[in-house]
Structure 1
Amino acid sequence: MKIDKFVLAIVLTIGVAYFFPMFGEEEHGIPLDRIASIGISLIFFFYGLKLSLRQLVSGLKNWKLHLLIQLSTFLIFPLLVIMVYPFFQGETTESVWLAFLFLAALPSTVSSSVVMVSLAKGNMPAAIFNASISGLIGIVITPLWVGVFLQQSSVEYSLGDIYLKLLVEILLPVILGLFLQKYLGRYALKYSAYLTWFDKSVILLIIYKSFAESFMEGVFTRVKGIDLVLIGLGVGLLFFVMYALTGYLSRVLNFNREDQITAQFCGTKKSLVHGTVFSKVLFPEPIALGIMLLPLMLFHAFQILIISFIATEAAGRSRN
């Protein structure tokens, strides 16, 4: 199997942030925060341009499949993480737990879900519908899950301010993109590959800024090597539990093979794009974004590796 190039780019970006963290400082003169904010808005503007309302409407018919995927994404995932909260005591471990809660509350990824479902011969229209609608639902649901914990802590957290920022930076660009879709939508589809490169560049910029600040503040000096191993094991365990659970529920609901593949692939994915941009909006300054993004980036690499293997195997079985 080929190693995903974007995962390698993330690793390289973290390395650059470690050796050259000074470029992330405001005093250095490069307005990375402003550039990232503009980039976030453009990402979701292009998302609106490519969002097909016709596919969304036609996809409403298979409601049991959609309900399972969205409940897996936004309810079962976070509840699994909340169940283990009593085992995370102390400032550092609570931050790690919050990073896992943030990961669990994120929407599903769009592109890789659809690609993997297509490779495994699953239900493509349902995958497109759920991957698209998940990002819109996440704008509302993800801040609620994160806010449940932060509002009980000493960190200042205002849901009203958060939703205002999400409205301005994310939701309005999506609406503008939908409004201009009939004029510019064909260009967004034509140059989709370039827009994907743009999306990834903005994500890498935010990752660099987050980790540069964390390295400058010595955040990772409080995280031991064994803790990093445990985080990696936790990411793998969370994925496999969700994969098994969505498979079991699919069989209980008597889904056919195509729908079961779609439920398991879409219901276990988490979006690095949404996670990276949401982290910039959701978390107040005292919280180290490097720690918040660490489980998500590990999960991103893990889900690509495992699902690509499973999809290839499923495609082989369907041919036979």
Structure 2
Amino acid sequence: MKRLDPFLMCLIGAVLLASFLPCPTIWQPWLSRLTSLLIMLMFFFQGAKLHRRALLDSVKNWRLQGTTLLITFLVFPLLGIGLYGLSHQLSATGFLGPELWAGMLFLCCLPSTIQSSIALTSMARGNVPAAICAATVSNILGIFITPLLCGLFFDHSSSGGSGLQTILNVAEELLLPFILGQCMQRWVGPIVHRHKFLISCSDRGSIIVLVYSAFSTAVLQGLWHRIPVILLVGVGVADAIVLALALGITYLLGRMMRQNIEDDITLQFCGSKKALTSGVTMASVIFPTSAGIIVLPLMIYHQLQLFVCTVIARHYARRPQLDHEAGPPQ
């Protein structure tokens, strides 16, 4: 059995620390400024690291790339709406309550994750270059599409402003540093590629601080008094249903498109996953007063997708090696 992701364990530690030692209210403005600075720094490094050639190559396999984006930003939101409507048919308030349902719908609006999508595609011997392109383009477009979808799903008071204002806020905090990193790639890029471990620590460290900040605010607002254990189990069940449907839909679409198995793997992993990093950062901008509760479904979904997709990737990896996969003879 795959051991727990150390990054996820750090996130759980941040949640526990915030639960028992939340940041005092008087220090929260300073913590908020720190997290904003760390987020901007993280996206600056992402811009400096990403080669422009990867963006240009993303348009070559338009069927695979287009289908992945369609699942991420259309099929997933429809799944969320369908599950939401079904739950409200069974119960007047739904079995999760309004805040956790907001988190579920927000989860469905997010882009695909980058690192684990690529790693699992590689483990399963899928089309890794296509996975890099699909996940990268999904995250860049998500800066615009996710706030727009949130503006459609949530009223202005719950999402911190109008749809246009939300996009501007996200663009200022995420896209602008990314573009600046792209502009300075010539000078900063080599440094980022030489010190990948330090940059990875910086990225993950900023998310851990952000999770602590978000949950500190939520705990001071009575998070654990408002969400009993039974609701957390309900979130896990809802996440499992969404993940199972996404994996099934991506598999069937791949078969219907008559792709090779490598492209099927890429579609399944890139199309079924949701980005924890982008999700937590966007939640802090879109839902400044309730990010802690909003990201709970995402954190549970993150671990579910890692465990389930790792099992699937190992299954794919055991298939016979074909001649076209083996590469040119030595």
TM-score class, shorter: over 0.9
Q: Which residue of 2 aligns with 1:159?
A: 163
Instruction: Give structure 1 regions of 4+ aligned residues with deviation exceeding 3 angstroms.
Output: 88-92, 152-156
- 2:59 aligns to what? 60
Structure 2 CA distance for aligned equivalents of residues 224 and 236 of structure 1: 19
What's 1:262 paired with?
266
TM-aligned CA deviation for residue 230 of structure 1? 1.1
Aligned to 1:250: 254
Q: How many residues align?
A: 316
| CA distance 1:317–1:55, shift in 2 (3 Å) | same
2:53 equivalent to 1:51: no
Correspondence 1:116 to 2:120 = yes
Deviation at 1:150, TM superposition (A): 2.0
1:301 aligned partner, one-letter code: Q
Structure 1 residue identity aligned to 2:240: G
CA distance in 1 between counterparts of 2:29 and 2:109 reads 32
Distance 1:284 1:6, change over 3 A: closer
* Native 8 Å contact 1:157 1:284 kept in 2: no
Cα offset for 1:149?
A: 2.4
Counterpart pick for 1:138 among 130, 135, 142: 142
Deviation at 1:225, TM superposition (A): 2.1
The amino acid across from 1:293 in the alignment is V
> What SS does the aligned partner of 2:295 have?
helix
Would the aligned equivalents of 2:73 and 2:145 in 1 still touch at CA under 8 Å?
yes
- Give the direction of change, closer, same or farther, for the CA distance of 1:154–1:190 in structure 2 (3 Å limit): closer
Does structure 1 residue 307 correspond to structure 2 residue 325?
Answer: no
Matched residues in 2 for 1:110 and 1:29: separation?
A: 30
Displacement of 1:67 in angstroms is: 0.8
Residues 65 and 215 of structure 1, relative CA distance in 2, 3 Å threshold: same
- Residue 41 of structure 1 aligns to a residue whose secondary structure is helix
SS in 2 for 1:249: helix
Q: What is the rounded CA distance, in whole Å, between the counterparts of 1:161 and 1:192 in structure 2?
A: 34
CA distance in 2, matches of 1:184, 1:226: 48
- Paired AA for residue 8 in structure 2: V
Q: Secondary structure at the match of 1:281?
A: helix
Shift of 1:222: 2.0
Equivalent residue in structure 1 for 2:298, among 296, 300, 305: 296
Does the residue aligned with 1:267 lie in a helix, a strand or coil? helix
Alpha-carbon shift at residue 308 of structure 1 (Å): 1.6
Mapped contact 1:121–1:318 kept (Cα < 8 A): no
How far residue 179 of structure 1 moved from its aligned partner, in angstroms, is 0.9
Deviations for 1:269-317, whole angstroms, at most 9, x for unmatched residues? 11111001101111143xx222101000001111111112211221122
Tell me the amino acid that sits aligned with residue 50 of structure 1. Answer: K
Change (3 A) 1:136 1:272: same
Residue number in structure 1 paired with 2:204: 200
Distance 1:242 1:185, change over 3 A: same
Unaligned runs of 5+ in 2: 323-330
Aligned to 1:20: 21
Cα distance 1:176–1:154, how it changes in 2: closer, same or farther (>3 A)? Answer: closer
- Superposition TM-score, scaled by structure 2 size: 0.91
Aligned AA (1:289): A
d(CA) in 1 for partners of 2:12 and 2:160? 31
Match of 1:102 in 2: 106
Is contact 1:74–1:107 with CA below 8 Å preserved after alignment? Answer: yes
